[in-house]
Amino acid sequence: MHAVLSKIAKGITVCYAEVFPNQDNEYFHLAYMGKLFLIADSYCLNPDCKCQEAVLNFVQVYPRVGKNADSFMVMFKLNGRGFKIREQGKFHRSKIKAIMMHFNAENNIQNLLYERFKEMREKANEILS
Protein backbone atom coordinates (compact mmCIF):
# COMPACT_ATOMS: atom_id res chain seq x y z
CA MET A 1 0.00 0.00 0.00
CA HIS A 2 3.04 2.29 0.21
CA ALA A 3 2.90 2.80 -3.57
CA VAL A 4 -0.76 3.78 -3.32
CA LEU A 5 0.01 6.33 -0.57
CA SER A 6 2.79 7.77 -2.69
CA LYS A 7 0.44 8.16 -5.68
CA ILE A 8 -2.23 9.80 -3.53
CA ALA A 9 0.33 12.28 -2.19
CA LYS A 10 1.55 13.08 -5.72
CA GLY A 11 -1.98 13.44 -7.11
CA ILE A 12 -1.54 10.49 -9.49
CA THR A 13 -4.55 8.33 -10.29
CA VAL A 14 -4.50 4.82 -8.89
CA CYS A 15 -5.58 1.75 -10.86
CA TYR A 16 -8.48 -0.27 -9.47
CA ALA A 17 -6.47 -3.48 -9.97
CA GLU A 18 -3.66 -2.06 -7.83
CA VAL A 19 -5.96 -1.59 -4.84
CA PHE A 20 -8.12 -4.67 -5.43
CA PRO A 21 -5.78 -7.23 -7.02
CA ASN A 22 -6.65 -10.79 -7.95
CA GLN A 23 -10.33 -10.17 -8.54
CA ASP A 24 -12.26 -11.56 -11.47
CA ASN A 25 -13.11 -8.04 -12.55
CA GLU A 26 -9.73 -6.31 -12.19
CA TYR A 27 -9.82 -5.11 -15.79
CA PHE A 28 -12.54 -4.66 -18.35
CA HIS A 29 -12.48 -6.43 -21.72
CA LEU A 30 -13.97 -5.21 -24.97
CA ALA A 31 -14.25 -6.88 -28.35
CA TYR A 32 -14.66 -4.28 -31.07
CA MET A 33 -14.50 -4.91 -34.81
CA GLY A 34 -12.24 -7.93 -34.51
CA LYS A 35 -9.94 -6.32 -31.94
CA LEU A 36 -9.76 -7.17 -28.26
CA PHE A 37 -9.02 -4.44 -25.73
CA LEU A 38 -8.01 -4.67 -22.09
CA ILE A 39 -9.16 -1.60 -20.17
CA ALA A 40 -7.64 -0.45 -16.89
CA ASP A 41 -9.60 2.05 -14.82
CA SER A 42 -7.85 4.50 -12.50
CA TYR A 43 -9.19 7.07 -10.07
CA CYS A 44 -8.05 10.12 -8.11
CA LEU A 45 -7.93 9.16 -4.43
CA ASN A 46 -7.12 12.57 -3.01
CA PRO A 47 -9.77 13.05 -0.28
CA ASP A 48 -9.74 16.84 -0.84
CA CYS A 49 -10.42 16.53 -4.59
CA LYS A 50 -14.01 16.86 -5.78
CA CYS A 51 -13.46 15.29 -9.20
CA GLN A 52 -15.63 12.37 -10.19
CA GLU A 53 -13.79 10.90 -13.13
CA ALA A 54 -12.25 7.64 -14.20
CA VAL A 55 -9.13 7.45 -16.33
CA LEU A 56 -9.58 4.57 -18.77
CA ASN A 57 -6.55 3.13 -20.52
CA PHE A 58 -7.49 0.99 -23.54
CA VAL A 59 -4.76 -1.40 -24.72
CA GLN A 60 -5.20 -3.58 -27.77
CA VAL A 61 -4.48 -7.09 -26.50
CA TYR A 62 -3.24 -8.78 -29.65
CA PRO A 63 -0.98 -6.42 -31.55
CA ARG A 64 0.42 -7.39 -34.90
CA VAL A 65 3.62 -9.42 -34.81
CA GLY A 66 6.65 -7.17 -34.40
CA LYS A 67 4.57 -4.13 -33.36
CA ASN A 68 3.89 -2.59 -29.98
CA ALA A 69 0.37 -2.72 -28.63
CA ASP A 70 -1.76 0.24 -29.67
CA SER A 71 -3.44 2.14 -26.86
CA PHE A 72 -5.35 5.28 -25.98
CA MET A 73 -6.49 6.93 -22.76
CA VAL A 74 -9.65 8.85 -21.91
CA MET A 75 -10.96 10.77 -18.91
CA PHE A 76 -14.52 9.48 -18.40
CA LYS A 77 -16.81 11.80 -16.45
CA LEU A 78 -18.88 9.86 -13.93
CA ASN A 79 -21.64 12.50 -13.93
CA GLY A 80 -22.76 11.47 -17.42
CA ARG A 81 -21.11 14.32 -19.30
CA GLY A 82 -19.04 12.16 -21.63
CA PHE A 83 -15.29 11.81 -21.87
CA LYS A 84 -12.17 13.66 -22.90
CA ILE A 85 -9.32 12.08 -24.84
CA ARG A 86 -6.06 12.35 -22.88
CA GLU A 87 -3.79 10.27 -25.11
CA GLN A 88 -4.76 9.29 -28.61
CA GLY A 89 -1.95 6.94 -29.55
CA LYS A 90 -2.35 5.79 -33.15
CA PHE A 91 -6.13 5.99 -32.98
CA HIS A 92 -8.16 8.63 -34.81
CA ARG A 93 -10.57 10.65 -32.69
CA SER A 94 -13.55 9.22 -34.59
CA LYS A 95 -12.38 5.66 -33.88
CA ILE A 96 -11.99 6.44 -30.17
CA LYS A 97 -15.51 7.90 -30.09
CA ALA A 98 -16.91 4.78 -31.78
CA ILE A 99 -15.06 2.47 -29.37
CA MET A 100 -16.29 4.49 -26.37
CA MET A 101 -19.91 4.37 -27.61
CA HIS A 102 -19.63 0.60 -28.01
CA PHE A 103 -17.96 0.19 -24.61
CA ASN A 104 -20.58 2.25 -22.82
CA ALA A 105 -23.53 0.65 -24.63
CA GLU A 106 -22.31 -2.90 -24.14
CA ASN A 107 -21.42 -2.61 -20.48
CA ASN A 108 -23.62 0.25 -19.19
CA ILE A 109 -20.31 1.36 -17.86
CA GLN A 110 -21.14 4.61 -16.13
CA ASN A 111 -22.88 3.00 -13.12
CA LEU A 112 -20.20 0.35 -12.74
CA LEU A 113 -17.37 2.91 -12.90
CA TYR A 114 -19.15 5.05 -10.32
CA GLU A 115 -19.43 2.05 -7.98
CA ARG A 116 -15.72 1.32 -8.42
CA PHE A 117 -14.94 5.00 -7.80
CA LYS A 118 -16.84 4.83 -4.49
CA GLU A 119 -15.02 1.61 -3.51
CA MET A 120 -11.70 3.27 -4.27
CA ARG A 121 -12.53 6.39 -2.24
CA GLU A 122 -13.64 4.23 0.72
CA LYS A 123 -10.39 2.28 0.55
CA ALA A 124 -8.40 5.53 0.37
CA ASN A 125 -10.16 6.75 3.51
CA GLU A 126 -9.19 3.49 5.27
CA ILE A 127 -5.57 3.82 4.14
CA LEU A 128 -5.32 7.45 5.17
CA SER A 129 -6.98 6.92 8.60
Q: Quick one: pLDDT at residue 53?
A: 93
Total structural domains within the chain: 1
Q: What percent of the chain lies above the pLDDT cut of 90?
A: 52
What are 16-55's pLDDT values in tens digits? 999 888 777 789 999 999 889 999 999 998 888 888 999 9
Indicate the average pLDDT of the chain.
87
Measured from the Cβ of residue 51, the count of other Cβ atoms closer than 10 Å reads 13
Could you tell me the residue range of the domain that residue 65 belongs to? 2-128
The pTM of this model reads: 0.89
Helices (H), the chain: 2-10, 16-19, 93-107, 109-128
Bridge partners, 29 (sequence order): 38
Q: Quick one: pLDDT at residue 2?
A: 65
CA 85 to chain centre: 12
More confidently predicted of 11 and 91:
91
**Residue 10 — very low, low, confident or very high, per pLDDT cuts 50/70/90?**
confident
Residues 64-92, buried b or exposed e (16+ Cβ, 10 A)?
A: eeeeeeebbbbbbbbeeeebeeeeeeebe
Which among 93, 92, 91, 95 has a CA at the least distance from the CA of 103? Answer: 95
